[in-house]
Amino acid sequence: MVNEPAEHGFTHLDEHGAARMVDVTPKEWTKRVGVARARVSMSAATATAIQQGVVGKGDVLAVARIAGIQGAKRTSDLIPLCHPIMIGSAEVNFDIGESWIDIEATVETVGPTGVEMEALTACSVAALTIYDMCKARDRGMTVESLGLWQKSGGRSGDWQR
């Protein structure tokens, strides 16, 4: 039953419904890529302040980028059944709009399991860092539309939203 979903289709549950870590040891090592995106909506004034670099706590996007990369590296510490993964690369980029910041995280590895959760975690942590650094200015910010946009590698192959 290694690598096969339990009869109910959830790989992180055994046939009795108990949580388990999926055994990835027999899986083929392949290059795997995960891309996730999220949006932080905010007031136009906050977006402008971030873009102009005048937020009192410092360079919001530089700190959020580092936080996102660190989040990707620490995903298995945050999500109980995720495997620790040797990440080959993690990139976090931003696109500032009139009243939002779009975040895109790309994570790559070569190994027996994918990096979708690492990409999602990178986006989440970057978004929360933006909120944290700007909350005194704009408590109405929201983190929205977090999702996986593409993945490649592994037995299930490529997928794109």
CATH of the domain at 107: 3.30.70.640
Flag whether 4 is in a domain. no
Residue 21 in any domain: the answer is no
Half-sphere exposure for 152 (CA within 13 Å, toward CB): 7
Residue 15, domain member (yes or no): no
Spot the catalytic one: 77, 95, 102, 132.
132
112, part of any domain: yes
Q: Which is more confidently placed, 156 or 14? A: 156
Number of domains in the chain: 1
According to DSSP, the residues that pair with 89 across neighbouring strands are: 108
Q: What is the pLDDT of residues 102-151, one digit of tens each?
A: 999 999 999 999 999 999 999 999 999 999 999 999 999 999 999 999 99
Predicted confidence band of residue 10 (pLDDT cuts 50, 70, 90) = low
Residue 118 lies in a domain: yes
pLDDT at 74: 97
- 16 inside domain: no
Residue position matching structure tokens 């945050």: 78
In a domain, 19, yes or no: no
Please say whether the beta carbons of 131 and 143 come within 8 A: yes
Tell me what pLDDT residue 22 has.
82
Q: Are 147 and 36 in contact (CB under 8 A)?
A: yes
CA 5 to each of CA 1, 10, 22, 64, 84: distance values in angstroms, whole numbers, following the listed order: 8, 6, 9, 36, 21
pLDDT exceeds 50 at position 6: no
The verdict on whether 14 is a catalytic residue reads: no
